[in-house]
Structure 1
Amino acid sequence: MTKAASGARFASVWDALSDTPEEAATMKLRSALLMALGQEIKRWNLTQVAAAKRLGVTQPRLNKLLKGHINDFSLDSLVDLAGRAGLEIAVKVGRPKARPAAKAA
């Protein structure tokens, strides 16, 4: 039985889809970077060719980013692209907030 099929509740889709909490955390970071990059690139109002050149990637690679192909990008590559895009990255590290216990059915 999968985690999702078990009826468990998850804080995010990545918690449901990932095998470990560590993998879920990485996917959350990658997702946030992918979305921020997409928004920033659209704000530039450039063609994909021009935006790709500005970022130092090929147009097909940029197209994958804009289409949300998260599995084609490592966390490191997204951090590099964010830097090239002029985005500031802030990392928050701490203990997770305790979630209230689920109500019994």
Structure 2
Amino acid sequence: MNKRIIEGIEVEVGSSNVFADLDLPDADKLKIKSGLTVQIAKAICEQGLTQAEAANRMGLTQPKVSSLLRGEFSNFSERKLMDCLNRLGYDIEIRVRETTEPVGHLVLTHA
């Protein structure tokens, strides 16, 4: 990683994946799941849904929605998180393209 001095303090510049920076296993998967979770939270907020209403729309229980909104997404598969977004009225587009790197990366973008 890259180190810089900002206002007299040495800081280490991370990558675009904090999970990889922390050397966690399955960092790419965690990044995708956290990104999907953020999108779900935004959708619930933008639509003014209560946790109970969101749970009903997503096919979950209210306690599971509460856990998800607290960032506890480890018990959810990527597919289930995508299904939740679909049920909240969002399309998901997966695009595969060649990379110039030896190994490709997972990237979550939102409009």
Where do residues 7-86 of structure 1 align in structure 2 (5 Å cutoff)?
A: 10-11=14-15, 12-17=17-22, 18-19=24-25, 23-86=26-89
Unaligned runs of 5+ in 1: 1-7, 98-105
Query: What SS does the corresponding residue of 1:68 show, helix, strand or coil?
Result: coil
Q: TM-score, normalised by structure 2?
A: 0.67
| Counterpart amino acid of residue 20 in structure 2 | D
Structure having the higher helix fraction is 1
- Give identity over the alignment, percent: 32
Q: Equivalents in 2 of 1:47, 1:74: separation in Å? A: 23
Q: How many residues align?
A: 88
TM-score if structure 1 supplies the norm length? 0.70
Point out the structure with the larger strand share: 2
Equivalent residue letter for 1:16: D
Q: What SS does structure 2 have at the residue aligned with 1:87?
A: coil
- The Cα shift of 1:67 comes to 1.0
> Secondary structure at 1:53's aligned position in 2?
helix
Query: In 2, Cα distance between the equivalents of 1:49 and 1:89?
Result: 24
Contact (CA 8 Å) 2:33, 2:78: kept in 1 or not? yes
**How far apart are residue 51 of structure 1 and its match?**
1.7
Gaps of 5+ in 2: 1-11, 102-111
Aligned Cα root-mean-square deviation (Å): 2.3
